[in-house]
Amino acid sequence: MKKLLFGAFALSMLAACNVGEDHLLNQEQTDDLTSGSSVTQRVCPSEDIRKEALANNSDLMARFVDNESKTEKFIEDLKMGRVLADGTVEIPVVVNVLYRTSAENISDAQIASQIATLNNDFGGTNADVNKIPSEFASVAAGDTKIKFRLDRVIRKSTTVRSWRTNDAMKKTSSKGQDAFKPANYFNIWVVGDMGGVLGYATFPESAGLWNDGVVIAGKYFGTTANAPYNLGRTATHEVGHYLNLRHIWGDGNCATDYVDDTPTQQDKNFGKPTYPQYDLCGGVNRSIQFMNYMDYVDDAAMYMFSAGQKSRMQAITNASGARSGLRIY
């Protein structure tokens, strides 16, 4: 059973990394970048960005530990029948579109397609839900009771050619756009290009802070022609992080994602694996849940959250959770 070890994990965060110049490049230094190229392999730096933030901000670390403690308690209370399992919440979404060219100024229809994908994936009504293997059907999340409602679209022209993962797009002072009431609204920044990065997210310890939200490269936002990341699942994956889900492999060899019903696996998966796939961890050869939204497979190869992941997300949006502010707008 996967268990949450606060002390050990906190220490590993503190020792993991220091902020380096390479991670904080100014977005103006873009003339030597090749922009507009397509990503061939899914890259999500959310966990790496989180490690840096936690290692260098004790207040953020304290929030993280508190969130995980409350999440663990919520899950235990669910098991004991002490709280309602419904936990329904409708999250108001603000989409901040930053564009340099007309092609980067994505259409309302493309934005609507992304909101629809989020509602289908988190509601368990996605068209490919029938692909879940019978082995994992019993632990599939189904309806997570988390819904998304587009509140507003903010469009802004910018001269920035390509963005880094240093949150510059989230500040008007650096030619980006300030978040709209991040304590009560879920902000998404859609940008023209981020090199080899599809998107990244903040975690619940950043709830309400100036940089809280998700960033997605425009060509991978919503339903597009940019296969294999053309079904809007980049946002589904990053919103998972925003709602306190880790990568399914725990960002380490046979590491933990703190979810009991996602089998431990050796590493991330890419492309379109063929079921079943087996990984050897701790001397046990397990069939792995590579079709989970929190792995790195292609959009068409991911189509489920687990019940354990649902509980973690409900815990964070619960009335006592770090993202309870999303219920008030």
Q: What is the CA radius of gyration of the chain?
A: 19
Q: Check residues 82 and 77 and name the one with the higher pLDDT.
A: 77
- The answer for residues whose C-beta is within 8 angstroms of residue 243's C-beta and 6 or more apart is 146, 204, 312, 313, 316, 317, 323
If 0-12 CB within 10 Å is exposed, 13-18 middle and 19+ buried, where does residue 185 land?
A: buried
Q: Which comes out higher in pLDDT, residue 135 or 31?
A: 135
pLDDT at 73 (0 to 100): 77
Please tell me the predicted confidence (pLDDT) of residue 219: 96
Structural domain boundaries in the chain? 86-327
Q: Which of 143, 328, 302 is nearest to 233 (CA)?
A: 302
How far apart, in Å, are the Cα atoms of 245 and each of 36, 160, 249, 313? 30, 31, 11, 7
Per-residue model confidence (pLDDT) at position 22? 35
pLDDT for 77 equals: 64
pLDDT at 87 over 70: no
| Whether pLDDT at 327 is above 90 | no
pLDDT in tens, 98-107: 999 999 999 9
Instruction: With H, G, I as helix, E, B as strand and everything else as coil, classify residue 93.
Output: strand
Place of tokens 């919520």: 74
238 catalytic per annotation: yes
Q: Give pLDDT tens digits for 2-50.
A: 544 444 445 444 333 333 333 333 344 443 334 556 788 888 999 999 9
Look at residues 273, 264, 232, 50 and name the one whose alpha carbon lies nearest to residue 127.
232
Q: Which long-range contacts (CB under 8 A, 24 or more apart) does 52-55 make?
A: 52/16, 52/17, 52/18, 52/19, 52/23, 53/206, 54/10, 54/13, 54/14, 54/205, 55/13, 55/14, 55/15, 55/16, 55/17, 55/18
The pTM for the full model equals 0.81
Each residue's pLDDT tens digit, 202-253: 999 999 999 999 999 999 999 999 999 999 999 999 999 999 999 999 999 9
Strands (E) across 158-207 are located at 186-191, 199-201
Strand locations in 8-129 (E): 89-99
Q: What is the CATH topology of the domain spanning 86-327?
A: Collagenase (Catalytic Domain) (3.40.390)
